[in-house]
Structure 1
Amino acid sequence: MSDDGYVPLIDREREPEQRVHRELTKPSRERLQLILKSLVGNNELEYGLEKIVKKVGLETLLDTDIAQEVVGNEYFGAVILYSETVYTLNFISFVINRAYEKANQNRFASSMLGYDASDIQNTVEEIENVLITEGILWEIEHKQNRYIEFHRIESESMAEIDEKVQALEEQEPWDDVLRGYNDAYERYINGDFDDTLVTKLYNSIEEVLQTICVDLEEWTDDRDRSHGYYLDLLNEHDVYDANGITAPELNQLLGSLEKMVSKVGNDRKQRHAYHDRAYCTLLIHQVGAYLYFLISRYDDYKN
């Protein structure tokens, strides 16, 4: 953006990078294919393919044009690379669970099979790492005998909200103000589900409130007040709708975040309390939605 506030068309039309995905992406599929092939042999892959074909049929599993070009063992890779996400993940779980079953039944698994239970566990961790670092909104649930299942972990609108927040960063002064939110998102994508992530999300909302009330509107010169004080200022100046429902809801969210930040800050034992991807997904979604609401409502107020 130039000093006069002009945003070039190419920047206004540029699509924000999608950081989270409800379905497997091409890079995630390619990584999963390599990880799975490095662990097991054709027997386990054939077992997984047979199981998934029995469930949905080959025509459902693979597009006809793709299936006609696949030969021999390439079917395994094709399922991972081209099938719908739910079928690909089912296939992977069938293969992993079959490997666990064989390893559990064989005392000499490492020499007989080429892998043992610890190798499978390492592979599962690698798969989990792909889901996290590629922003794939699925997670692995560990069942009895170490068997695994895949589950979705988010609401449908999380990616949409993040794209909207990223679009706001193209406008001043929000590029700097939203840095805390972006830092939290980077921690999320890196798998750092910790107290620092929670703190950065809390600070990002406080920064937006202070920017509006202190820097832009100069309704106060005090940057050390509680979030409730700034929310009241927004309400007093009719930034919210007249029904006044959203201000109490946002105040409640910020109060909860504040308690979390205080708790983990004062108690070292609590600093790993938020190592839960599903919970952090929900938290980022909520905070992103409120950030977008605050800024877009303020923009409406100014215009």
Structure 2
Amino acid sequence: MDLLWDYLEYLLNITWSDDSFRRNNDMLLMAKKIEKTLVEEGILVQMKPSVKEIADYDFYHPTNNEYVHFQQVADETIIEADQELRILALGEPWKEPLKPYNEAWDLYKDNKLDSTLTEKLAKSIEGVVEEICKEQEDWVDPGAGLGACLDAMKDKGLFEPNNAMFAEWRDIVNGLKIGVQKPAGDKHRHELIDQDYAILLLHQTSAFLTFVIKRYEQQYD
């Protein structure tokens, strides 16, 4: 794959140096297709500069500091967590709770990067946690909220022997909730989530949910 990205970078930069390509906008169209494919296929690689940045140049001509290149937006462990979660979402009882997570990915693919994506992720976390604590087990009262469910999961040993990480996961969950609330009344809510931030939220969520589901199935299934 590294050789493939190197070749594609070389091809793009060599092609871009051709005046006829730049005059006819063929290069920009090619860049748009590549960027769209990366997003639609869920490939965690970004083209830099982006198509939007490239379009800001009347005649973009790469210099030593501005060559088109591809960069990975998540490490291998995060990618694996996302893939594992997609597999879990195919079966019961996780199919329904994880549906909002898949919908959030669809929003990302469609470049709809507003607070709706954050809301979907928060809803998926709540759905999985409540499925464990209320539907599969009787660990909390029916009216208990997310915080009470997380505390119950900790008390039942789902975070052992790494209880220190419980605070980190709780911070992630609280961050998502704040992310939902903050843009809710903002006139510019659609401008608040860029592609990098969306990827961060998607993969923080996938890592947390994959860990929780796998740990629960190992200990209680």
Instruction: Normalising by structure 1, report the TM-score.
Output: 0.61
Asked if residue 138 in structure 1 is aligned to residue 45 in structure 2, the reply is: yes
Corresponding residue for 1:47?
Answer: none
Give me the CA root mean square deviation: 2.5
- Aligned runs of 1:58-207 on 2, under 5 Å? 84-96=4-16, 98-99=17-18, 102=19, 113=20, 116=23, 120-142=27-49, 145=57, 146=60, 147=62, 149-152=68-71, 153-207=73-127
Matched residue, 1:299: 217
SS at match of 1:139: strand
Which residue, out of 164, 171, 174, partners 1:252? 171
After TM superposition, give the deviation of residue 243 of structure 1 in Å.
Answer: 4.5
Computing the radius of gyration over CA atoms, which structure comes out larger, 1 or 2? 1
In the alignment, the residues of structure 1 paired with residue 86 and residue 152 of structure 2 have an alpha-carbon distance, to the nearest angstrom, of 26
Q: Whole-Å Cα distance in 2 between the matches of residues 264 and 93 of structure 1?
A: 39
Supply the AA of the counterpart residue of 2:70: H
Displacement after TM superposition at 1:125 (Å) = 2.4
Q: Percent identity?
A: 26
Q: Is 1:230 the equivalent of 2:149?
A: yes
- C-alpha separation in 1, matches of 2:13 and 2:5: 12
Rate the CA distance shift 1:118–1:178 in 2: closer, same or farther, 3 A. Answer: same
TM (normalized to structure 2)?
0.82
Task: Indicate the residue corresponding to 2:207 in structure 1.
Answer: 289
Letter in 1 for 2:37: V
> Can you give the 5+ residue segments of structure 1 that lack an aligned partner in the other structure?
1-22, 25-82, 103-112
Deviations 1:112-168 (A, max 9, x none): x47637554344323321222233322222378534522312212333212211222
Distance 1:208 1:192 in 2: 24
Paired letter, 1:221 = D
| Offset from partner CA, 1:11-33 (integer Å, 9 cap, x none) | xxxxxxxxxxxx49xxxxxxxxx
Report if aligned partners of 2:12, 2:68 keep a CA contact under 8 Å in 1. Answer: no
| Higher RCO (Cα < 8 Å, 6 or more apart) | 2
Once residues 172 and 139 of structure 2 are traced to their aligned partners in structure 1, the CA distance between those partners, rounded to angstroms, is 23
Equivalent of residue 264 in structure 1, options 150, 161, 183: 183
- Alpha-carbon deviation of 1:256? 0.7
Query: How many Å separate the matches in 2 of 1:182 and 1:222?
Result: 26
Aligned equivalents of 1:256, 1:87: Cα separation in 2: 39
Give yes or no for contact 2:130–2:149 (8 Å, CA) kept in 1.
yes
Post-superposition shift, 1:288?
A: 0.6
Q: Match of 1:185, as an amino acid?
A: W
